[in-house]
Structure 1
């Protein structure tokens, strides 16, 4: 048996490394992808939404000679589908001349009537095309599917190349592999040149459905790689028949939208009325040619296996030539002869609906029993025009490194084309997907498939040995380079990331302090320790607002088994004040901002998540193990906070993150102080309480250095609340919030204080005038420091009002979107 010459040199390099080294490198590759946060979201996955991306160490190879034919065929197909798209929403000559049956177009949910007769300024309408290829029985690459709505995979293919190159550079020895640098430059040029206006530097955004979308990693990855802001539908708004992005400063007109939101969800005004992913009125802006959308809304109609039986006729009609790339043999059931043939031979076929917009089932008929076959036949007979039968062919396999050996797995190759002048630029390579098992027929990431790096090689081409670099044209400079241009969703997520991080860190430190006090009590058993411990238990409830907790009628029961209540505070993510809830909330904001985070931040975050998720539920009542967990979590959180300050520019939104961080720290400083300082206790108890407060605040050593005295309420108040030079004091935090808010963009030219500044300015003035000697006074017969309580309560309200004003001014996404006409058509 001979070895394919394309693989011979790779196998030589492979054998030089040896099995043990390859195992190690595969593990290194898995680790690198996990550390870099490369994920693919799998819906309803019991293991969680963000599944690590799987990349096999052995690449897939095609020689340049074969690739030239494939490339030419892909350019032809992209050009042909562009003509089909123009015809479907234009003259509809294919239907009028009987080339394509009308049912194939009009019964496809991707055909959107509101898009009919829309005119575009670009030469091509289909600007990005993706084709799924597989090697057929004749040895040639066959077209299996077309992807035109929101083609995915470009970002994953790029990450595959970077990862393989980093982990196994040995594989590339004496093998010339074409790089995708030129293709991504063409993609960037496409985005710039597609602008409906002739701006030298158009405003370009990438529209994502959000972090729960299956390919969200890629949306964020391309945003970071290309340098364009990632926005959600509620970041954009239509005004004066133009699209605007909502920023901290106000509205900025958008010229180009690289769309990753499905067609029907793009405009709730004219399309899917209950969509919160799109922009109301977007289609009308497209009609007015005031914005360019890539790909245009309505292009999903081309993702249509019903077209495949007619594509060669379409090619002859438009181009007067045959298809270069063969297609999978297909029979549309809307024709009487074909319907009869399919029903008589159904066991031989794979049956598909003509569209998959609702993730309809695909039937591999050879695996169906007689009853299931009969049900399928009845479905086809009820609406024959909705179904296509395709020949079941045994696609070829490629070697996959699995469990110390190479084994054959079925593969599917996704290729990418972008419009360039009057033709299409083809990525050299693409995304290779591999079946999850050697016996599996279907290749799908949602079904657990893996991936491969895709090599196009030419060992006789010396030009491939030159180092290639990414180089964007100067006109692609980011318009969103100042904080005033920060999209409002990004700003809001940065603000809440700061708040959730602070809440997580302060809660973890506080619970750790209480657990240490519990341990000390087990050794000492002093009466003052018992009282102070009960006070600390109650303070947990007041700090987290998880009632009844250690208060009210539940108090005695909770104190009998305090670890049970503390476990709720730590691990029950359904409780809003719990540590688990804060971590979960931070995770949501974190994934929404993943295009801003550095790789080091991903690594620290991944370690943080792993430590938390791996903690055994059986240890929820084990104080030493919980304390060790909190120690590790606190260390990772501090490292992450430090990396944020290193990795994000102020103009990228660091200012909003700091405002959120300081605001939450200030709120929790107030809550701790209200719980522990506003009531006067006996001397021994008060000493324990003050020491506990300083410990939770990481301020005991600072106190000793500053005052060199016995713990005293007045000095503690001076340090924790009133010191204007200590970064953890309330006064410092409030002044920092005031300074940072004053740097936020003003919505008007008025230099007077904005509504956001009014409450925080008042808070700073109140604390500036506060005196520790007055705040320590205890009311007669009441044992309370009412002046201190009033001060803290008023400051808490002012911070809350500041947060509300900040939200109203900068983070308001509440524009209601109502559909004017029902667009739900019965098919």
Structure 2
């Protein structure tokens, strides 16, 4: 072994042992380095502390750039907090891991048998191995799941265990995660990011890769399909973008190529689960579930749930769909089982547990309860059911009154509590402030069912306490993570490069425009609309601000009237009334910048730029499994720029113009990346329809505000120039007509040009072509209501003639025919949008609970 005091890495460990109390993964109490860390620390030493710190910054940057996030509820820094990964990995040598692996396989096998027994014969209760209160008073026990049979050999298909090293140096089981285990996607991202940023630290270290495990995971999903269907339809069911691990849901969807769906994407018909798509219903064979048990079916379980699928449990009961993990498996996440796990293992397998557990005492037993109450200060007390995030008591920190209150709670409901000994997790080095600090760590491992055994991921997810003194390890409390290495003393071979590959039967049979989930299609449609609305609004207001800025340096008589018309057009374009219209318009005219700032930054105002950005944000996160990393980076830059400016106290015209310049450039870059990143068959077509539709609507609104009223010659010239500028069409006009600005020519270009992509006519005809490419929902050969509405709009604008449209009513100075045309087109496009929504995006299915789920309290 290497002695720390005699190596060049001493500087890394400055003050490392100043408060050393526990087992450390790297250093022994005699300052010798554990052999399995020697080569890694040598690689660190060769990099040097300055380079290592720089690489940590690169790693943080890459995670943020790639949009790796973890949602923290009520976080003042926002919902999507960047994922934290420390550059120092966590290392376990292969020889030790083999024993851990055997223990994890055994534990998963035992829990699988427990799950079968709880919802089957209940021999554990009948034979006195497990007290009935532990099972029946846990909310995870779902009575409707009783006697459900499964076609898979194992019921517990995916198991996760939290491990921590105990005071004896062995890895102990702290928790089991069986309901919808999280962390797999984060562990993969940790490995990929570390490999990209610091490949040097892998030098001459043989780190086992997770390729075969990921292959086993994918094959499990395929093999779980009812009747062993050759090419099953598989989906990932997510609660949605506000879930704490939503990034992981989107990540795994993108990684495996399975659609990410929400509960209202699915529907039960004829005792089968169907995915609602653009062309109709497609039967689902396998659901990888990330929705909690009780929220999975509002008919038989929690009637207030909008996350699940009404009738899902009965489809499972009839074996017409496979779910990973089965509904009801949350009962295994029960610390009340821990005191009895060794007896359970002996009962089923005739052997002791391989992996030790935290010493635990269930308070429902008189002897154990007396021991707990007599020594309460030494324990951590937990409810056996933490499904509603009940309080955990660290008794050493409780005062006398709090201890007495807890004793009363335990005596009132003794069966509800488990006491566990307080163990100090082992520490591992974390890079912090240019040196290494010991931080408490916990490891999350993953197991998937494979034929008659369980396949264990080599490594997993390591979570680290947020601070040196912090006792609890939790991502919700600001913890970080580490890459988890299983190392081998054998030299790493570079001859054969392993890759992720799937069996041919994993071909995605949900490909094609007609098979897009209706929720995904709707979000793509509205992403297009919000993007177009944001871009058009930003360009228009920038144009007005530039006019305001120019008016400071000129005293032309037309400026005042021109600007008043432009101010009023902002109100009409955004529909933020009264604004520059109505009785109080004079007040708005006195300080137009104040009103414009509201139109830009007041997120509560529907139609404001801030509201449009926020609306796009919601659609964006719902679709993040489709977006590329470059798209995330552009959007993240836009998001940060916008919110940074919002916090500024003094906002003047020139600063706002500069902001809008940046926003517009980022939006254009993002829009361009969309066309590169998504195939038409993936839903790009639906996005295009939404984008063109919003552009057409806003083109109509601008034209109605600026073109339908005749003004004197000077003002009209300024208005036409402003319109062309906002439309980014002034240069094109000059190239096309090479003439003084003329209302007829402007109308021909902006409204009636069949070849100009920004003209209204082009946009409406493009919408018509794209809508006719959407799948028909039935065999009816007649035109659908969507097709009829957009065809009417096409016919109307195709017949329009600029010479007639410019005619002015002498009494009202209104171009009546132009106003009638634009008003009719607006109504037709609006009707098209409504018909499109009714036909393709209708997710409503009334969910009525059949009976209430009751629990012992």
Q: Deviations over 1:197-237 (max 9, x none)?
A: 22110000000000000000000000000010000000000
Task: Please state if 1:362 is matched with 2:392.
Answer: yes
Task: Please state if 1:56 is matched with 2:86.
Answer: yes
Maintained 8 Å contact 2:205/2:491 = no
Structure-2 residue corresponding to 1:152: 182
Q: Deviations over 1:91-117 (max 9, x none)?
A: 000000000000000000000000000
Which residue, out of 597, 602, 626, partners 2:656?
Answer: 626
Q: Deviations over 1:288-347 (max 9, x none)?
A: 100000000000000000000000000000000000000000000111111111111111
Q: Trace 1:670-689 onto structure 2 (pairs within 5 A).
A: 670-689=700-719
In structure 2, what is the Cα distance between the partners aligned to 1:178 and 1:668? Answer: 56
Which residue, out of 699, 704, 724, partners 1:694?
Answer: 724
Maintained 8 Å contact 2:141/2:328 = yes
Q: Trace 1:196-345 onto structure 2 (pairs within 5 A).
A: 196-345=226-375
In the alignment of these two chains, the number of paired residues is: 827
In structure 1, what is the Cα distance between the partners aligned to 2:242 and 2:576? Answer: 29
Maintained 8 Å contact 2:516/2:683 = yes
**What is the CA-CA distance between 1:459 and the residue it aligns to?**
2.2
Which residue, out of 115, 129, 138, partners 1:108?
Answer: 138
Maintained 8 Å contact 1:197/1:255 = no
In structure 2, what is the Cα distance between the partners aligned to 1:476 and 1:293? Answer: 17
Q: Trace 1:705-784 onto structure 2 (pairs within 5 A).
A: 705-784=735-814
Maintained 8 Å contact 1:679/1:784 = yes
Maintained 8 Å contact 2:442/2:473 = yes
In structure 2, what is the Cα distance between the partners aligned to 1:102 and 1:616? Answer: 57
Q: Using a 3 Å threshold, how does the CA distance of structure 1 residues 600 and 672 change in structure 2: closer, same or farther?
A: same
| Consecutive unaligned residues in structure 2, runs of 5 or more | 1-30
In structure 1, what is the Cα distance between the partners aligned to 2:422 and 2:592? Answer: 64
Q: Trace 1:525-544 onto structure 2 (pairs within 5 A).
A: 525-544=555-574
In structure 1, what is the Cα distance between the partners aligned to 2:689 and 2:374? Answer: 69
In structure 2, what is the Cα distance between the partners aligned to 1:467 and 1:372? Answer: 58
Structure-1 residue corresponding to 2:54: 24
Structure-2 residue corresponding to 1:389: 419
Maintained 8 Å contact 1:137/1:394 = yes
In structure 2, what is the Cα distance between the partners aligned to 1:311 and 1:621? Answer: 64
Other structure's SS at 2:330 match: helix
Which residue, out of 679, 684, 687, partners 1:649?
Answer: 679
Maintained 8 Å contact 1:54/1:450 = yes
**What is the CA-CA distance between 1:575 and the residue it aligns to?**
0.4
In structure 1, what is the Cα distance between the partners aligned to 2:228 and 2:34? Answer: 50
> Could you state the TM-score of these two structures normalised by the residue count of structure 2?
0.96
Structure-2 residue corresponding to 1:488: 518
Q: Deviations over 1:585-607 (max 9, x none)?
A: 00100000000011111111111
In structure 2, what is the Cα distance between the partners aligned to 1:522 and 1:433? Answer: 58
Q: Trace 1:310-709 onto structure 2 (pairs within 5 A).
A: 310-460=340-490, 466-618=496-648, 621-709=651-739
Q: Deviations over 1:378-401 (max 9, x none)?
A: 111111111101000111100000
Other structure's SS at 1:197 match: helix
In structure 2, what is the Cα distance between the partners aligned to 1:372 and 1:572? Answer: 46
Q: Using a 3 Å threshold, how does the CA distance of structure 1 residues 323 and 464 change in structure 2: closer, same or farther?
A: farther
- Structure 1 residues 626-635 or 612-621, which shifts more? 612-621
In structure 2, what is the Cα distance between the partners aligned to 1:706 and 1:605? Answer: 35
**What is the CA-CA distance between 1:826 and the residue it aligns to?**
4.2
**What is the CA-CA distance between 1:20 and the residue it aligns to?**
1.2
**What is the CA-CA distance between 1:619 and the residue it aligns to?**
5.1
**What is the CA-CA distance between 1:462 and the residue it aligns to?**
5.2
In structure 2, what is the Cα distance between the partners aligned to 1:348 and 1:433? Answer: 25
**What is the CA-CA distance between 1:467 and the residue it aligns to?**
1.6
| Consecutive unaligned residues in structure 1, runs of 5 or more | none
**What is the CA-CA distance between 1:667 and the residue it aligns to?**
0.3
Task: Please state if 1:136 is matched with 2:166.
Answer: yes
Other structure's SS at 2:497 match: coil
- Structure 1 residues 188-197 or 361-370, which shifts more? 361-370
- Structure 1 residues 601-610 or 421-430, which shifts more? 601-610
**What is the CA-CA distance between 1:356 and the residue it aligns to?**
1.1
Other structure's SS at 1:56 match: strand
**What is the CA-CA distance between 1:57 and the residue it aligns to?**
0.4
In structure 2, what is the Cα distance between the partners aligned to 1:601 and 1:526? Answer: 44
Maintained 8 Å contact 2:601/2:646 = no
Maintained 8 Å contact 1:396/1:410 = yes
Q: Report the aligned-residue RMSD.
A: 0.9
Which ranges of 4 or more aligned residues in structure 1 deviate by more than 4 Å? 461-465
In structure 2, what is the Cα distance between the partners aligned to 1:338 and 1:554? Answer: 75
In structure 2, what is the Cα distance between the partners aligned to 1:620 and 1:128? Answer: 54
Other structure's SS at 2:771 match: helix
Maintained 8 Å contact 2:237/2:261 = yes
Maintained 8 Å contact 2:579/2:595 = yes
In structure 2, what is the Cα distance between the partners aligned to 1:461 and 1:77? Answer: 32
> Could you state the TM-score of these two structures normalised by the residue count of structure 1?
0.99
**What is the CA-CA distance between 1:464 and the residue it aligns to?**
7.9
**What is the CA-CA distance between 1:466 and the residue it aligns to?**
3.5
Maintained 8 Å contact 1:620/1:626 = no
Maintained 8 Å contact 1:242/1:290 = yes
Other structure's SS at 2:553 match: helix
- Structure 1 residues 751-760 or 387-396, which shifts more? 751-760
In structure 2, what is the Cα distance between the partners aligned to 1:659 and 1:628? Answer: 31
**What is the CA-CA distance between 1:620 and the residue it aligns to?**
5.3
Other structure's SS at 1:205 match: strand
Structure-1 residue corresponding to 2:28: none
Maintained 8 Å contact 2:174/2:358 = yes
Q: Deviations over 1:53-112 (max 9, x none)?
A: 000000000000000000000000000000000000000000000000000000000000
Maintained 8 Å contact 1:131/1:144 = yes
Maintained 8 Å contact 2:136/2:856 = no
